Amino acid sequence: MRHATYVSALISRGVHVTFGEFKLKTLTCRATCKQEFQTYEEKQTDVNISTALIDFAGAYDKAILLTEDSDQVPAVKLVKKLYPEKTVFTLPPIGRNSKELTRTCDGRFTMSEQALIDCQLPNPLPILRDGKQTALIVKPSSW
């Protein structure tokens, strides 16, 4: 539910959302109980980011990857090979670091706590349709 609320807020601001997939996975507890339980595992998000970086390369001069996932290295290398004039930077989440991705990119930006706060969506976020407010999305207190 929280994820759906966030995605709705992004879409209301004109953000194009590309979804990965969540697959059901059975795990065994590593503690003493050893019981099996089911959880969901995210799949395809890193591939979707890589594909978009390459697919949209004709539409940008500079790309900023908001990740520090070294799975992006091959895509960055391919963009730089196919489009040597393009620059790709990384902006990792606070506290994250991938030396390999940083070395591959043209530079690395740093995110501060204040910058993260400044980039949050308005709360509440009005939803407009045909110029009229039709709903409000309220940020859950757990965020």
Task: Provide the phi-psi class of 135: left if phi over 0, else alpha when psi is between -120 and 50, else beta.
Answer: beta
**Is the whole-model pTM more than 0.75?**
no
Q: Which amino acid would we find at residue 19?
A: F
The pLDDT score that the predictor gives to residue 52 is 94
Asked if 89 contacts 103 with a C-beta cutoff of 8 angstroms, the reply is no
Architecture of domain 45-111: 3-Layer(aba) Sandwich (3.40)
Q: What residue segments make up the domains of the chain, in order of their start?
A: 1-43+120-143, 45-111
Tens digit of each residue's pLDDT (9 = 90 or more) over 51-84: 999 999 999 999 999 998 999 999 999 999 999 9
